[in-house]
């Protein structure tokens, strides 16, 4: 058997012969026909993929997995008898709880329907690689050195496709393929799909399906017999897609190392965690990673208790016992918040209470456009933006009163919504929040497009983000020149909410690296005025790079799961348990100047 090798600028795929064990049959029982290479593996950037059918003994495979580098996820695939391999290193390895699905490329038929609003192409630039990593991070996947992508762009064993928005040029999704015949002389002439990931905030449907089909057609054209993939056993949405495309289950298994990245897969299901939303889950996961004891008090409500070194702190998501009842009460009353931060030098919009129609009419005449919101409330409920007439104002006030009897009216500052996460009076993350938007395909009504985007947003956020089908959505649609049952032309974008709250379908985009220092100063000043250790400060801005802003509100329980790649959960746990940080990290942090 030949030992094939292929190196591409120090990266790329490589076949590795660790040791030869003669002509014994493969340990996993792969049939009578022996593979044409021994101990085959390929570096995929996120880790190595070991082809189990090419290993004659467990020793070389175990040695290969033991060489797994930091922040990598090696996978031993096609392990038909995993109990044999696991028996040699039960403390180091585990059986991946995923199913293997196969698409028979000899019978696969491409879809006649072409993607609308986006297209699929090869990865072709370093910026593509950066965007792929952004999507990986949003999906909590292992990132890849952009140089690896770029160095392997012409690799015949690895294939990278991306989906690109036709209008904006944004990268919406990605998929990686491995041609087995290029890695080793595979007698079955197979291929496999890896790292399918779609931006959770994409406005287009069927991006994942288009990427899978493009890769299948790519390998079909190259004469491959099948395309396999591995999918978590409980990923019902993905399994449903693969079923529709004609994939079927095959009895192959994967084995991985017990490392930090894989911890959730081998520690067993924390049944009490199942009801936690992403905002509580991200903190619980970080705490467990540090060895902090976690007790789930009420999963549905997001309540848990963290215990470390004799200290115990109860939390509800990012709201902990460190936030005083006074600070929480201030955040709950938007008028009080506004007065306190204004006295601290933070710019605030002009405001009145909506209890006199004459005063309200004068306020509209003076400012032209206003914001109506309940004096108390959260998650954007009852807020109406861009009100310009008394008729609209009356409707908006009535809606706001469903949340709180006292309703506030503010002058409208045209611009973008900026959320700044301030923990321990230091900026941790800044993100522009954008209102829910749909993109037309020339055949679907506005109503159905909204419903479709809302379903995708809900799936991507575990039900936290949905576009309400209410009067505010209808008003935004009419303001854009359409009715709910109109057909939106192909490629045309329509904003369907005036507020950018995540819970009403908004999207969030990290700008921490470019935010203007004046905006950071305003956020920290507001947090100090309220005297709150963890808060989300909302500003309306012209541009995150510019100093212009007005203060909107402070949130005492900001969602930390919305701010990848910033370490929001890490800084939250640092605040609660500073001794849980490694000593070197504590020293480095003391030396770093605050980001303010």
- pLDDT profile of the chain (596 residues), mean per 10: 33 32 36 64 96 92 92 92 92 94 97 89 93 89 90 92 93 97 94 95 90 98 97 92 96 91 70 79 89 91 94 97 96 91 94 85 87 80 84 87 87 89 97 90 90 84 84 89 92 86 86 96 98 96 95 94 88 94 63 55
CB-side exposure of 310: number of CA atoms within 13 Å?
0
Q: Residue 30: its pLDDT value, please?
A: 38
Could you write out the three-class secondary structure of 462-521? CCCCCCCCCHHHHHHHHHCCCCCCCECCCCCEEECCCCCCHHHCCEEEECCCCCCHHHHH
Using the 3D structure, point to which of 448, 463, 497 is the last residue of a domain.
497
Domain count across the chain? 2
Given 473, 497, 521, the domain boundary residue is 497
Cis peptide bond upstream of 19, omega within 30: no
pLDDT at 522: 97
Residue 442 falls inside a structural domain: yes
- Does a structural domain hold residue 291? yes
The enclosing H or E element of 551 equals: strand 549-555
Give pLDDT, residue 470: 87
Place of tokens 């090419």: 54
Spatial distance between the Cα atoms of 31 and 52, rounded to a whole number of angstroms: 13
How many Å apart are CA 45 and CA 132, to the nearest integer? 12
- pLDDT, position 297: 93
Q: Pick from 456, 471, 497: which residue ends a domain?
A: 497
Give the whole-angstrom CA distance, residue 450 versus residue 469.
Answer: 8
CA angle in degrees (0–180, nearest 5) for 319-321-325: 85
| pTM, entire model | 0.74
Q: What are the Cα distances from residue 80, in Å, to 1, 16, 51, 53?
A: 22, 21, 11, 8
User: Is residue 474, in this structure, part of any structural domain at all?
Assistant: yes
The pLDDT of residue 1: 31
Phi then psi for 103, rounded to 5 degrees?
A: -115, 120
pLDDT for 499 equals: 79
pLDDT for res 481: 92
Q: Which residues constitute the domain of residue 491?
A: 436-497
pLDDT at 584: 57
Look up residue 298 and give its two tokens: 């009420």
**Residue 483 contacts residue 446 (beta carbons within 8 Å):** yes
Is 417 a member of any domain?
no
Is residue 309 situated within a structural domain? yes
Question: Which pLDDT belongs to residue 557?
Answer: 95
């Amino acid at each position: 058997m030949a030992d094939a090798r292929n190196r591409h600028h120090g990266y790329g795929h490589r076949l590795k012969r660790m040791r030869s064990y003669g002509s014994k049959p493969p340990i996993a029982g792969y049939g009578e026909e022996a593979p044409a290479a021994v101990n085959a593996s390929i570096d995929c950037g996120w880790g190595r993929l070991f082809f189990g059918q090419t290993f004659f003994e467990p020793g070389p495979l175990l040695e290969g997995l033991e060489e797994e580098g930091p922040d990598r996820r090696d996978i031993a695939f096609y392990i038909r008898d995993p109990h044999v391999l696991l028996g040699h290193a039960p403390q180091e390895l585990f059986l991946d709880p995923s199913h293997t699905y196969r698409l028979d490329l000899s019978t696969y038929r491409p879809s006649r329907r072409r993607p609308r609003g986006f297209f699929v192409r090869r990865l072709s630039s370093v910026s593509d690689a950066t965007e792929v990593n952004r999507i990986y991070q949003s999906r909590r996947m292992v990132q890849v050195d952009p140089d690896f992508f770029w160095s392997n762009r012409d690799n015949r064993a690895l294939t990278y496709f991306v989906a690109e928005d036709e209008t904006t040029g944004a990268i919406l999704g990605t998929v990686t393929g491995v041609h087995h015949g290029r890695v080793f002389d595979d007698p079955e002439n197979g291929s496999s799909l890896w790292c399918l990931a779609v931006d959770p905030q994409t406005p287009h449907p069927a991006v994942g399906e288009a990427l899978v089909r493009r890769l299948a057609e790519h390998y079909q054209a190259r004469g491959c017999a099948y395309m396999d993939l591995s999918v978590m056993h409980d990923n019902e949405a993905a399994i449903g897609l693969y079923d529709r495309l004609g994939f079927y289950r095959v009895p192959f298994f994967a084995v991985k190392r017990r490392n930090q990245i894989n911890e959730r897969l081998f520690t067993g299901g924390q049944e009490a965690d199942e009801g936690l939303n992403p905002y509580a889950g991200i903190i619980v996961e970080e705490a467990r990673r540090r060895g902090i004891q976690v007790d789930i008090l009420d999963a549905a409500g997001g309540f848990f208790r963290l215990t470390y070194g004799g200290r115990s702190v109860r939390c509800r998501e990012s709201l902990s016992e460190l936030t005083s009842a006074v600070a929480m009460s201030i955040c709950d009353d938007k008028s009080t918040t506004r007065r306190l931060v204004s006295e601290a030098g933070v710019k605030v919009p002009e405001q009145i209470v909506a209890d006199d129609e004459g005063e309200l009419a004068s306020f509209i005449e003076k400012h032209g456009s206003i914001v109506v919101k309940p004096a108390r409330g959260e998650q954007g409920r009852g807020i109406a933006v861009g009100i310009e007439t008394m008729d609209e104002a009356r409707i908006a006030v009535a809606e706001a009163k469903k949340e709180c009897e006292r309703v506030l009216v503010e002058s409208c500052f045209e611009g973008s919504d900026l959320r700044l996460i301030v923990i321990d009076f230091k900026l941790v993350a800044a993100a522009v929040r954008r209102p829910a938007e749909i993109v037309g395909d020339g055949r679907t009504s506005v109503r159905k497009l909204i419903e479709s985007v809302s379903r995708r947003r809900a799936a991507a956020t575990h039900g936290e983000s949905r576009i309400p089908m209410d009067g505010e959505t209808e008003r935004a649609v009419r303001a854009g020149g359409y009715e709910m049952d109109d057909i939106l032309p192909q490629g045309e974008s329509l904003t369907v909410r005036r507020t950018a709250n995540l819970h009403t379908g908004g999207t969030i985009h990290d700008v921490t690296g470019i935010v203007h220092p004046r905006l950071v100063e305003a956020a920290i000043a507001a947090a100090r005025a309220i005297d709150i250790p963890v808060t989300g400060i909302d500003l309306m801005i012209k541009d995150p790079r510019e100093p212009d802003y007005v203060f909107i509100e402070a949130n005492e329980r900001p969602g930390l799961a919305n701010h990848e790649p910033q370490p929001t959960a890490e800084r939250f746990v640092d605040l609660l348990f500073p001794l849980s940080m490694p000593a070197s990290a504590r020293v480095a942090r003391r030396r770093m100047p605050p980001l303010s």
